[in-house]
Structures are given as C-alpha cells and as structure tokens.
Amino acid sequence: MGKLRGNLLPPALAIVFSALLCGLALVLSGANPLKAFGAMVNQVGEGSTAVDIINSTGIYYIAALAVAIGFQMNLFNIGVEGQYRIAAVVAAIFGGSVALPPGIHSLAIIIVAAVAGAAWAAIPAILKVTRGVNEVISTIMMNGIALGVAAYLIRRDVFGELRGNNIRTPEIAESGWVPGIPLGDNGTLFGLVFLAIALGVGYWVMMNRTRFGFELRASGESATAAAAGGVNAKKMILVSMLLSGAIAGLVSMPEILGRDHTYNLNFPGGIGFSGIAIALLGRNHPAGIAFGALLWAFLDKSGLALDNVGVPREIVTIMQGTIVLSVVVAYEVVRRFELASEQRRVGRELASAGGAA
C-alpha cells in the first residue's frame, strides 16, 4: 500500500517527466514526438528487436546487480566497467585454450570470469581497507588500466589472433558454448539470460534472508550503528567489493558464450556505467533493477528506429539521463514525505490510544 506507492510512484513520475522533457526537446528541434515514440514502440515488433531487448535486459541486469551490492553499503563501485572487461578477456582466453567436456567447459569459463572480475575488484577493495583509498577514484583508474590490459592480452604476440581487420581471442570450442533458445527470424534468446534471473533471486535471498545481507544493509544505513552492532566494516568492504566484482565478471558471459565465442575489438563498452544508472533507478531492489534494465534495453534497442524517422537517436541518451536524474530527486522527495507522514500517523495512533508519545 503506502510502501508500494513510495516505491513505484517516483520512477513512474520520473519516466513521465523525462518523456515530457524529451517530447519538448523534439518539438523544439522540429520533430514530431508522437511519431518518434510511435516508431520506438513499433520497433519492438520488428525483426529481432524484442529478443534483443530481453537479451540486453539480462546483461544490464547483471551489471546493475553488481553495482547494487556495493550501493547497499554505500560503496560506489564505478569499476564494474573494468571488471567485466577484464573478466571477459580472461574468460575468453581461458575458454579458447582449454578442452573440456560440454557443460563443464561452460561452467569453468563462467567461474573463471567471476574470479577474474573479483580479482580486479580486489585491488581497490584492498587499497580501501588497508590505506583508506577512496574506491571511486581507484575503481575509475582501474577501468583505464583494464582497457590497457585487455588490449595487451589480445595482441597478436600475446593471446590474440587476427581476423581480417579484427583481432580476437581464440574461439571457444562448441563444448564451452551455452546454447540459446532459437526463435527463428526473431533472433536467439541467450541461454544465460536465465543466469541473470538466478542471480536476481540469489541477490534477493542474500539481502533479505542472510546474516551477510543484514550486515550489508546495516552498514549502508548507518556505519556507526553497524559498528556498535558488531559488524566488521573492513570485512564487509572487502567481501562486498569481491562479490560485486565477481558478478560484474559475469556481465559479458551471455554474449560471449551465447553468440560471440570470443573477445574481439567490437566488445561493447559502457555497460558498467549503465549498470550504475539502472541500480539507481531500481533502488537496489531486485525487481526494481529488472524493471530499470528492461527500460534501459528498450530505449537502447528501439532507439535505433529513430534514425528511420529522421529523429536524432541521441534523444534516447537524453531520456536515459533525465530519467535517472529525476528518479533520484523524486525518491528523495517521496522519502521525506513518507517519513513525515509515518511519524504523524504513529503520533495520531498513539494519541487516539490515549498514550503520550
């Protein structure tokens, strides 16, 4: 009821607000916003767009979960970007250079990716715990280093091989692939989209049912109260960063094991940053994040249709930006309002019960 309203109202307001804003921008630039939004909606039925949206939702979902784990205790892991890239290249190299039975091969690649992501996240985590280095700074720098390391690892004289003008890691043998669900001309649903769902369920259980999740939430809510309650802050930082990095490491698995079978120059960037926005949008709640990821993927994929109707596709980026901005503002406004009304409600109920508050 009230709680649901507090959780759903802000994003709904934010989306409406940013749609209006973008509509206004379109009108000002001389385009017809209804035509533009119509083209975006129609695009969902075109070709493989619907499936692409689902696939992309899964990928964004994993990235946003990785970010959300850090957010739960006010750790700003901007390094998801670098963590998933390192994990992708390491896992692709590993997968392409070992021969294992089907199933085990895929599983081994996924584990290697998680470990590689966690290892990359361990560096800023250790720096923070031992030296107090701010994780925002260190993870940003690790992102830059990740790019360089990945570029180095796929050099022809290291692990890379040349394909035309592209350069890529050795292709993973079929035993390492994770088959998707082919839907004919509508594309193929990545098998690992289900991994994203499993991660979401696992995340929910962890946050709500386990001691670790409790300690994580307590640390995020009040570091001082958590300390007085016996939560070891350094341990929490270390564990949550590693966990965040491990999940970040899985971001590229659906694409690599489901379609590309290699890490190459076309490897998509920026998913980690989108993950930050989606985690904000979804308020770190597994269902909220799913919704945010879906929205993000829809805007991304159906935005391609805008070129067709002569509307600059950048409008999608503007929309994504305004949604995040306005959702943050809206949550804060609603939160204050709800807290005040809750206090009034408690006061009223107690007063009518005859007690003094």
Partner 1 sequence: MSSSTSVRTDAPAVVLTGITKRFPGVVANSDVHLTVRTGEVHALCGENGAGKSTLMKILYGMQPPDEGTIEVNGEQVRFKTPADAIKAGIGMVHQHFMLADNLTVQENVVLGAEALHGIGAKARRKIQELAGQTGLNVDPGVLVEQLGVADRQRVEILKVLFRGAKVIILDEPTAVLVPQEVDELFATVRGMQEQGFTFLFISHKLDEVRAIADSVTVIRRGTTVGTADPKTVSSRQLAEMMVGSELPSPETRTSTVTDIPVLTVSGLVLSAPDGRALLDSIDLVVHSGEVVGIAGVEGNGQTELVETVMGMRKASAGTVTLGDDDLSKLGTLARREAGIGYIAEDRHRHGLLLTQPLWFNRILGYQTRKPTAKGAWLDREGAKRDTERIVEEFDVRTPGIDVPAAALSGGNQQKLVVGRELAGDPKLLIASHPTRGVDVGAQALIWDEIKNARARGLAVLLISADLDELIGLSDTIKVMLRGRLVADADPSTVTPEDLGSAMTGAGSTSAAVHEEGEN
Partner 2 sequence: MRRRMRGIAVAAIALTSVMSMSACAKDSGGGSAAQNNSGGSGCEYAAAPPAAPAASTSAGAGDKVDGSALKVGLAYDIGGRGDASFNDSAAAGLDKAVSDLGVKKENVKELTAAPNEAEDAKQTRLRQLATDGYSPIIAVGFAYAESLKVVAPQFPNVKFGLIDAGVEGAPNVTALTFAEHEGSFLAGVIAAYQSKSCHVGFVGGVEIPLIQKFEAGYFQGAKAAAPKIEIEKKYLTPAGDFTGFQDPAKGQEAAKGQIDKKADVIYHAAGASGKGVFSAAKEAGVKAIGVDSDQYNQATVANEKDVIVSSMLKRVDVAVYTFVKAVAKNDLAALPKVFDLKVDGVGYSTTGGKIDDKLKGILEGYKAQIIEGKITVKDAP
> Which of the choices partner 1, partner 2, none does residue 218 contact, using the CB cut-off of 5 to 8 A by kind?
partner 1
Which tokens sit at 305?
A: 């249709």
| Cβ distance to partner 2 smaller for residue 111 or 149 | 149
| Cβ distance to partner 1 smaller for residue 27 or 227 | 227
**Angle, vertex CA 40, rays to CA 35 and CA 42, nearest 5:** 90
Phi, psi of 235 (to 5 degrees): -60, -40
Among 18, 49, 57, 139, binds partner 2 (CB under 8 A): 49
Question: Is 56 a binder of partner 2 (CB under 8 A)?
Answer: yes
Number of residues that bind partner 1 (CB under 8 A): 34
Footprint on residues 225-284 left by partner 1 (CB under 8 A): 225-232
Question: Is 35 a binder of partner 2 (CB under 8 A)?
Answer: no
CB of 338 to partner 1, least distance (A): 9
Counted residue by residue, the chain has a size of: 357
> Which of 55-63, 138-146, 304-312, 346-354 is the region at the interface with partner 1 (rule: CB under 8 A)?
346-354
Contacts for 337-345: CB closer than 8 Å, 24+ residues apart? 338/2, 338/6
CB of 44 to partner 2, least distance (A): 11
> Which of 145-153, 197-205, 282-290, 339-347 is the region at the interface with partner 2 (rule: CB under 8 A)?
145-153
Residue recorded with tokens 């630039």: 29
Q: Distance between CA atoms of 246 and 253, rounded to whole angstroms?
A: 12
> Which of the choices partner 1, partner 2, none does residue 357 contact, using the CB cut-off of 5 to 8 A by kind?
partner 1
| Cβ distance to partner 1 smaller for residue 162 or 357 | 357
Question: Is 270 a binder of partner 2 (CB under 8 A)?
Answer: yes
Question: Is 47 a binder of partner 2 (CB under 8 A)?
Answer: yes
Among 84, 85, 118, 294, binds partner 2 (CB under 8 A): 85
CB atoms closer than 10 angstroms to residue 300 = 19
Question: Is 128 a binder of partner 2 (CB under 8 A)?
Answer: no
- The separation between CA 110 and the C-alpha centre of its own chain, rounded to angstroms, equals 17
Footprint on residues 205-234 left by partner 1 (CB under 8 A): 208-215, 217-218, 221-222, 224-232
Question: Is 201 a binder of partner 1 (CB under 8 A)?
Answer: no
> Which of the choices partner 1, partner 2, none does residue 127 contact, using the CB cut-off of 5 to 8 A by kind?
partner 2
Spatial CB neighbours of 34, under 8 Å, sequence gap ≥ 6? none
CB of 320 to partner 1, least distance (A): 28
Amino acid at 350: L
- Reference 57, options 300, 311, 337; nearest CA is 300
225 burial via Cβ count (<10 Å: 0-12, 13-18, 19+)? exposed
Q: Are 45 and 298 in contact (CB under 8 A)?
A: no
Based on its alpha-carbon atoms, the radius of gyration of the chain, rounded to whole angstroms, reads 22
- Reference 15, options 320, 234, 317, 251; nearest CA is 320
Q: Give how far Cα 22 sits from Cα of 3, 15, 19, 85, Å.
A: 30, 10, 5, 32
Question: Is 269 a binder of partner 2 (CB under 8 A)?
Answer: yes
> Which H helix or E strand runs over 182?
strand 181-182
Residues at the site binding partner 2, with contacts judged by CB under 8 A: 46-49, 52, 55-56, 85, 122-123, 126-127, 129-131, 145, 147-152, 154-156, 162-167, 185, 187, 255, 259-260, 264-270, 300-301, 304-305, 307-308, 313
Residues at the site binding partner 1, with contacts judged by CB under 8 A: 208-215, 217-218, 221-222, 224-232, 339-340, 342-343, 345-347, 349-350, 353, 355-357
